[in-house]
Amino acid sequence: MLLKMKIDWLLQILIGCGSIKVSEILKYCNSRCLAVVPQGGNTGLVGGSVPVFDEVIINIGSMNNIISLDKVSGILVCEAGCILENLDSFLLNEGFIMPLDLGAKGSCQIGGNVSTNAGGLRYVRYGSLHGSILGLEVVQANGTVLDMLGTIRKDSTGYDLKQLFIGSEGSLGIITKVSILTPPRLSSTNLAFLACKDFFSCQKLLSESKRKLGEVLSAFEFLDNQSMDMVLTYLDGVRNPLPPSVHNFYVLIETTGSNETHDKEKLEAFLLHSMESGLISDGVVAQDINQASSFWRIREGITEALMKAGAVYKYDLSLPVEKMYNLVEKMRIRLGQRAKVLGYGHLGDANLHLNISTPEYDDTVLAQIEPFVYEWTSSHRGSISAEHGLGLMKANKIHYSKSPETVELMISIKKLLDPNRILNPYKVLPHSLVQE
Ligand code: FAD
Ligand code: 2HG
Ligand code: ZN
């Protein structure tokens, strides 16, 4: 009964949600030591947005207003519950685009994107949210509303505190408003879908494309043959745009620029040269937007195909490009016929998505994968989470990427900002250390 009253009260407060309402909820929860889970579009891949026990979920999806767009600078200010794709559609009409794009764009929210420090397909061009986010409004655990909603590019007055909340996965505060620098929408986009015989050729193609397509390069993605098979097997209506042949790797190169003829000629000359030098074994350039979407569907559909295939063990790693695929091969040797091992990801940013698919979860398979995958990544000074965060699933693995002193400082910051530890418990940092 008491719980029902509590929930009714919270629901009432959420009607017509705003930062003041979020503040009231947090004040209430903090005073009673009730744990909360901030939730956006719930598309995260590490269990950050789901309650573990009896936490109160604060979903800010109804805070979805666009507040302003400066049409000269491209600075957009909006509420944190805006869906990424809706923001991109709004901007399209105004001559701008969002600096990030993900397969989950139809459901994920900008507040969730900022909280996970999401990367995605445009990272190679527009970089990290740590650069694009100009300001945030954040509600602290005790209900204090922090106005850091700057709309200027340059500001070196004191500590840049908003950076602490980018990638903190709801463990330090709830983001309620976002100010983001959006780039101009350029008129010409080209997309090539290419095949390479080995990973070394993919790597070489990347360095060549950075040199020769530099100013127009807007995405550089790769998938291996096993990822292609997965998509062809589990997704309806998807086909390989290249004639049947044994291709070990596929690469998508997108260019975005302002001069249709120049950009197309530049890409075609690059592809011809790469074909002649043997870096590319086959390829096709999208002739219209529908064909381009069908190419993207292959790359963006891998996560969905994997979910349909059965159990999946997911790893999101930053590694030196030249070492990256060695891990996939090592994993295949370790697992043999017991699992399908897929390697794909944002090659332009040296971000590997290593996914291991089995008919069902199996502890003996897991024992072959972990801790090996983390130890190997750590030994190459990589990151065990390039863009998905640590959430619940990887909170205890943080030491593979961060030194003990760094983790200790993070825990001190957590305790300072959230002394009652009500914000997203069990996530990001090892729970036992936060509770000490
Ligand atoms: P949620 O999943 O709801 O939450 C994620 C975390 O942020 C949780 O810890 C939550 O507590 C916290 N949070 C959410 N909103 C707030 C808020 N307002 N204030 C404070 N904390 C908050 N990720 C990439 O980086 N790159 C990709 O290319 C990519 N592609 C994807 C493709 C698919 C098909 C899927 C399913 C996921 C993909 N993801 C990708 C992962 C996911 O979409 C991103 O992590 C996304 O940024 C999460 O946003 P969300 O709104 O769904 O957040
Ligand atoms: C992608 O780039 C996403 O497609 C999801 O980050 C990766 O499912 C994954 O492992
Ligand atoms: Zn990704």
Residue 10 host element (H or E)? helix 2-14
Distance CA 99, CA 110 (A): 11
Q: Where are the beta strands (DSSP E) in 275-420?
A: 282-285, 311-318, 340-346, 351-358
Query: Is residue 243's pLDDT more than 80?
Result: yes
Q: Which atom of ligand 2 is nearest to the CA of 345?
A: 2
136 CA to centre of ligand 3 in angstroms: 24
Distance CA 194, CA 131 (A): 31
Last residue of a domain, one of 302, 328, 353: 302
354 CA to centre of ligand 2 in angstroms: 9
Ligand lying closest to the C-alpha of residue 55:
1
Domain shared by 246 and 145, yes or no: no
**Confidence band, pLDDT 50/70/90 cuts, at residue 262:** very high
The first and second tokens of residue 58, run together, are: 């604060």
317 CA to centre of ligand 3 in angstroms: 10
Residue among 25, 2, 29 at smallest CA distance from 14: 25
Strand bridging mode 311-318 / 56-59: unpaired
Distance CA 170, CA 404 (A): 22
Domain shared by 16 and 154, yes or no: yes
Domain shared by 89 and 162, yes or no: yes
Query: Is residue 403's pLDDT more than 70?
Result: yes
Three-class SS state of 136: strand
ipTM above 0.95, yes or no: yes
Which backbone phi and psi does 365 adopt, to 5 degrees? -70, -45
**Which strands sit side by side in the sheet containing 75-79, from one edge to the other?**
66-70, 75-79, 174-181, 133-139, 145-148
Residue 10 pLDDT: 53
Are 100 and 124 a contacting pair, CB within 8 Å?
no
By most ligand atoms within 8 Å of CB, the mutation choice from 23, 25, 37, 39 for ligand 1 is 39
**Confidence band, pLDDT 50/70/90 cuts, at residue 17:** low
The first and second tokens of residue 356, run together, are: 């291991």
Domain shared by 74 and 198, yes or no: no
In this structure, the residue with its CA closest to atom 9 of ligand 2 is 303
Domain shared by 89 and 105, yes or no: yes
Apex 97 CA angle, 151 and 22, nearest 5 = 50
Neighbours of 405 (CB within 10 A): 8
**Which strands sit side by side in the sheet containing 351-358, from one edge to the other?**
282-285, 188-196, 249-257, 217-224, 340-346, 351-358, 311-318
Residue among 103, 105, 106, 133 at smallest CA distance from 117: 133
Q: In terms of residue numbers, what domain contains 222? A: 188-302
Mean pLDDT for 26-42 is 98
User: What is the DSSP code string of 173-242?
Assistant: -EEEEEEEE-PBPPSEEEEEEEEESSHHHHHHHHHHHHHHSTTTEEEEEEEEHHHHHHHHHHSTT---SS
Question: At 365, which CATH number?
Answer: 3.30.70.2740
List own/partner pairs for 197-201 with CB under 8 A and 24 or more apart: 197/247, 197/248, 197/249, 197/278, 197/281, 198/248, 198/249, 199/248, 199/249, 199/324, 199/325, 201/249, 201/278, 201/279, 201/280
Query: Is residue 405's pLDDT more than 90?
Result: yes
Q: Which atom of ligand 1 is nearest to the CA of 391?
A: 9
Last residue of a domain, one of 282, 302, 322: 302
Query: Is residue 198's pLDDT more than 50?
Result: yes
Domain shared by 219 and 367, yes or no: no
Mean pLDDT for 224-230 is 97
Neighbours of 151 (CB within 10 A): 15
List own/partner pairs for 19-25 with CB under 8 A and 24 or more apart: 19/63, 19/137, 19/139, 19/145, 19/176, 19/177, 20/145, 22/58, 22/60, 22/139, 22/174, 22/176, 23/139, 23/143, 23/144, 23/145, 24/143, 25/56, 25/58
Residue 387 pLDDT: 98
Name the domain count of the chain.
4
Domain shared by 50 and 181, yes or no: yes
| Pocket of ligand 1, beta carbon within 6 A | 37-45, 48-49, 60, 80, 102-104, 108-109, 111-113, 115-116, 118-120, 169-170, 174-175, 303, 387-388, 391, 424, 427
Domain shared by 15 and 163, yes or no: yes
Domain shared by 173 and 246, yes or no: no
Ligand lying closest to the C-alpha of residue 296:
2
Mean pLDDT lowest among 17-31, 38-52, 349-363: 17-31
168 CA to centre of ligand 3 in angstroms: 18
Q: Which residues contact 256 (CB under 8 A, 6 or more apart)?
A: 125, 186, 188, 189, 216, 218, 263
Residue 415 host element (H or E)? helix 404-417
Query: Is residue 13's pLDDT more than 70?
Result: no
Distance CA 249, CA 262 (A): 28
By most ligand atoms within 8 Å of CB, the mutation choice from 37, 83, 115 for ligand 1 is 115
353 CA to centre of ligand 3 in angstroms: 7
Distance CA 54, CA 39 (A): 15
Residue 18 pLDDT: 85
One-letter amino acid of 350: A
Domain shared by 284 and 411, yes or no: no
Cα→Cα distances 26→6, 57, 206, Å:
13, 11, 47
Residue 245 pLDDT: 74
Q: Would the CB of 343 count as within 6 Å of ligand 2?
A: no
Domain shared by 34 and 142, yes or no: yes
Question: At 274, which CATH number?
Answer: 3.30.70.2190
Domain shared by 180 and 99, yes or no: yes
pLDDT in tens, 94-147: 999 999 999 999 999 999 999 999 999 999 999 999 999 999 999 999 999 999
Ligand lying closest to the C-alpha of residue 355:
2
Distance CA 130, CA 136 (A): 12
Q: Which residues of 75-85 are buried (b: 16+ CB within 10 A; e: fewer)?
A: bbbbbbbbbbb
pLDDT in tens, 341-396: 999 999 999 999 999 999 999 999 999 999 999 999 999 999 999 999 999 999 99
